[in-house]
């Protein structure tokens, strides 16, 4: 892949990653301890999975790793009944911040 093509793909990735991170942040903002959140958590897990897959295809390892960790936390919360506790929500939000930072810092680098 030439430099021009890679830059075009990266631009497309940046746009999609931005949209996904925004949607993930909106989901994280409504998480409340012990509230039924299974549908929100499942949607967020799918979005984290999509972001991870796109990052893998672009060779953006840090973004892929952080998105995978977020996806795993979200899936675990669903498996535990979809009613996350306060610590679980804090962990999910922390993982999301790591994803956001990775997207902001690594979208142009490997």
> Do the beta carbons of residue 93 and residue 28 sit within 8 Å?
yes
pLDDT at 7: 87
Distance CA 39, CA 12 (A): 28
Distance CA 1, CA 76 (A): 37
Domain that residue 56 falls in: 3-106
Residue 21: which CATH number? Answer: 1.20.120.160
pLDDT tens figures, 8-63? 999 999 999 999 999 999 999 999 998 999 999 999 999 999 999 999 999 999 99
The count of domains in the chain is 1
Distance CA 28, CA 41 (A): 9
Distance CA 40, CA 30 (A): 9
Q: What is the pTM of this model?
A: 0.90
Banded model confidence at residue 109, pLDDT cuts 50, 70, 90: very low
Give the residue-averaged pLDDT of 95-102: 96
> Do the beta carbons of residue 73 and residue 44 sit within 8 Å?
no
Give CB contacts under 8 A, 24+ apart, made by 5-13.
9/58, 10/58, 10/107, 10/108, 13/54, 13/55, 13/58, 13/60, 13/107
pLDDT tens figures, 59-87? 999 999 999 999 999 999 999 999 999 99
């Amino acid at each position: 892949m030439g430099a021009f093509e890679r830059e075009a793909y990266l631009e497309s990735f940046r746009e999609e990653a931005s949209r996904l991170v925004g949607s993930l942040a909106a989901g994280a903002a409504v998480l409340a301890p012990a509230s039924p959140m299974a549908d929100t958590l499942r949607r967020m897990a799918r979005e984290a999975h999509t972001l991870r897959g796109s990052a893998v295809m672009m060779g953006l390892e840090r973004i892929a790793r952080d998105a995978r960790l977020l996806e795993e936390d979200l899936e675990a919360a669903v498996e535990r009944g979809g009613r996350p506790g306060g610590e679980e929500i804090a962990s999910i939000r922390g993982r999301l911040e790591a994803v956001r930072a990775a997207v902001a810092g690594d979208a142009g680098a490997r």
